[in-house]
Amino acid sequence: MEYKALLFCFIASVLITPLVKKMAIKIGATDKPNHRKVHKIVMPRLGGLAIFLSFAIGLLFFFPESKFTWPVFIGATIIIITGILDDMKELSAKVKLGGQLLATIVVVIGGVQVEYINLPFGGQLEFGYLSIPITILWIVGITNAINLIDGLDGLAAGVSAIALLTISGMAITMGNVFVVFAGFMMLGSTLGFLLYNFYPAKIFMGDTGALFLGFMISVLSLLGFKNVTLFSFIIPVIILGVPISDTLFAIVRRVIQRKPLSAPDKSHLHHCLINLGYSHPETVLMIYAVSALFSLAAVIFSQATMFGALSVIALLILMIELIVEMTGLIGKEYKPILNLIKDYRKR
């Protein structure tokens, strides 16, 4: 049944996206090129509206009776409205954050929150009053992380699709029916849009899409892995390794450069790869591959012993460090491990 839902939303997205493209051009919701952006011509955005409409139709048709359906739908609608207004009028960071917080509060009231974690050696870690702020921090953080990687044709949609496939697949093994259906419907909607968004893109998802994808991925990962073991709680962090690490290093970079955290720059992972000489599609496919590696690591991590799980984490940290040094994600001079290897070879 879940595969029918995926196909339904995929077809809906394929049919709705061209209509949204026409509407975006008609109302002037377009993305103009500037010094921070890669594209050279004016592009229609609001593509995220097509992803949302396809998902919403599927959700209300296939899964209208779940206790999470309406909180998620209402929260997603608030996010979409925030994104549409931003794509049309470029809202301030405070107003955008306000919309995200309002949407998050709706789903938290609807029961989406982490209440406790089962510890590996017995007992539970109760979050108590911290449950709500931790949940809000996670949802808002992941929402903005997906938004930050939306810098190349098909990048955010493809990375999100990989994350959604992993979350949905793991939810099957856990028997979480709502996450399975919602995840596959989001996957179908995203892939349908990706047909128009991969290089060379015919439409951008805009903040409408990036915020919606980030919001839904954060909510589904919480629903899929909440109230589980300490190590299992790390799984969604691994699955979302690319947007999370890119966001963390963007923060580090701005702190080092003494810039405001909200200041835009052109030093994200996709920018760094392009600066190294890779083409637009090559860069996107490389980041897809890294995202797939993170998702594979999450699956292995979920089935591993404690020693195996710790080994996976250690290897991921090493991989991230090497990517940071090779791409210059923090700075061109930051290469401690590569310099160490270089010095060793000289001996």
Would you list which residues are annotated within the binding site for Mg(2+)? 147, 207
Which CA distances in Å does 297 have to 19, 134, 136, 238, 314?
38, 24, 26, 7, 11
Identify which of 71, 74, 95, 82 has the alpha carbon closest to the alpha carbon of residue 49. 82
Please name every residue paired with 116 in a beta bridge, in sequence order, or none if there are none.
126
Binding residues: 147, 207
Q: Which H or E element spans position 126?
A: strand 124-126
SS3 203: coil
Is 191 in contact with 161 (CB distance < 8 Å)? yes
Backbone angles phi, psi at 34, to 5 degrees: -150, -175
3-state helix, strand, coil in the chain (%, to 5): 70, 5, 25
Please name every residue paired with 118 in a beta bridge, in sequence order, or none if there are none.
124, 229
Is 83 in contact with 206 (CB distance < 8 Å)? yes
Backbone angles phi, psi at 126, to 5 degrees: -80, 130
